[in-house]
Amino acid sequence: MSTSEQLFERAKKIIPGGVNSPVRAFRSVGGAPFFVKAAYGATLLTADDRELIDFVCTWGPAIHGHNHPRITTAIATALEHGTSFGTPNPYEVEMAELIVRFVPSIQKVRMCNSGTEATMSAVRLARGFTRRDKIIKFAGCYHGHSDSLLIKAGSGALTHGNPDSAGVPAVFAQETVVLPYNDTAALEEAFDANPGRIAGVIVEPYCGNVGFIMPDTGYLQYLRAVCTAHGAVLIFDEVMTGFRQAKGGVQELEKITPDLTTLGKIIGGGLPVGALGGRADIMDHLAPLGPVYQAGTLSGNPLAMAAGIAGLRLLEELDPYDRLDALGRQVRDALLAAARKKGIPAQVPQRGSMFSIFFSPTPVRDYATALKGDAQLYARFFHACLDRGVYLAPSAYETAFLSTAHEGEAIDRACETMTAAIMSL
């Protein structure tokens, strides 16, 4: 047995499914996960000393590649003075000032420990601020695993959803409406069916949890307008896209001002982090100022803040976004050329350092069209790449990520590998 196989056997005995997050278990692509003992740049080193070019980038945080010296040095420096104080610390203030400067729609910000906490708190805050209960989300968008957001479209499609996980009470689902993404008519109908009852709308402005899906031209502008018209809080979940698509996230690219924004991943430099920010008049409803409770033992943890600050400062210095988009286009063009040569229909939506591949003749614009992709063929493609040393997301419904560490030899080798993988299908 390989070291990874031995570790997985041990893990399965005492960790549900042998993993601490379900997607890592390879259930949707088959096979058993490999274990990683080290990571640097664009490379993962497995427990069996295999080097893999990494396109998961720990699900987004590693925009500078793994183990970047500026980030590891910042953590080491902070570590000299302790790991957690349970009191305010200078790093929190510096992080808040950076976030507010990078994302102008954020007038005030609260740190937490995960994207789930950030979105859960944003939903509670929208409800507390508006004194309304209903939330609109979109099919295919994932906002972490809080009860109000683990909801799928329900029978009463315009008025309530159904639980999307065991353990979520049906009464919780009553307060969440799930609509198709990129569908302005559905939005208009949902607001008309729930006059004065929609507290907020939460959206991944670019969807990264159903593969990669971009908004139709004008869709986000419509979202902004309809929320303003109905007094609903517009929440941009930029946990994945924040600081990745642009210094100011998707809202900078699309020139939209949401009321609240949730953040995570990159702002922790690889350590546990989340953040919720936005209009001061809304944020001031959070305890201890206002009536909406939100808290966390390790919120603003000095090590996570130091890591995130280093990562954000590096983004400001490098301004790598055009380079990352060029890398993304290089991969996209290689994949499309290989699929065309092989005679396999494929869509490769890409923007900046995010892309995905759908094996489908149909352009993908929402959850329904994403499902038309051949997930089985994706699983075969995934393993053909992995066998050749390239690690893509172990699910057809995730996004691939690039980092500045992919530039040069890594991206060229990866494109050759993915081309060979497609030709082998």
Question: What is the binding site for ligand KE4 (CB under 6 A)?
Answer: 21, 23, 59, 114-116, 119, 142-144, 204, 208-209, 237, 239-240, 264, 274, 398
Least Å from the CB of residue 277 to ligand KE4: 14
237 catalytic? Reply is yes
As a residue count, the chain comes to 425
The closest residue (CB) to ligand KE4 is 115
CA pair distance 116, 273, nearest whole angstrom: 10
Least Å from the CB of residue 144 to ligand KE4: 3
- When the beta carbons of 12 and 388 are compared against ligand KE4, the nearer one is 12
- When the beta carbons of 268 and 407 are compared against ligand KE4, the nearer one is 268
Q: Which of 129, 332, 364, 146 is nearest to 237 (CA)?
A: 146
CA pair distance 88, 69, nearest whole angstrom: 26
183 catalytic? Reply is no
CB 52 within 8 A of CB 44: yes
Please identify which residue in the block is written with the tokens 């003992």: 37
Least Å from the CB of residue 201 to ligand KE4: 15
- When the beta carbons of 119 and 301 are compared against ligand KE4, the nearer one is 119
Type of residue at 361: P
- When the beta carbons of 398 and 407 are compared against ligand KE4, the nearer one is 398
Q: Which of 54, 183, 237, 366 is catalytic?
A: 237
Mapping DSSP to helix (H, G, I), strand (E, B) and coil, where does residue 71 land? helix
265 catalytic? Reply is yes
Bridge pairing between strands 51-54 and 390-391:
parallel
- When the beta carbons of 142 and 172 are compared against ligand KE4, the nearer one is 142
Least Å from the CB of residue 340 to ligand KE4: 29
56-to-62, 240, 259, 347, 394 alpha-carbon distances in Å: 9, 12, 30, 19, 9
Least Å from the CB of residue 157 to ligand KE4: 23
Angle at 280 between CA 276 and CA 284, to 5 degrees: 80
Q: Which of 91, 134, 137, 142 is catalytic?
A: 142
CB 423 within 8 A of CB 343: no
Least Å from the CB of residue 316 to ligand KE4: 23
CA pair distance 152, 139, nearest whole angstrom: 7
**Between 409-423 and 375-387, two packed helices, what is the crossing angle to 10 degrees?**
130
Angle at 111 between CA 324 and CA 351, to 5 degrees: 20
CA pair distance 336, 345, nearest whole angstrom: 9
- When the beta carbons of 178 and 415 are compared against ligand KE4, the nearer one is 178
Q: Which of 265, 378, 391, 397 is catalytic?
A: 265
Q: Which amino acids are annotated catalytic?
A: 142, 237, 265
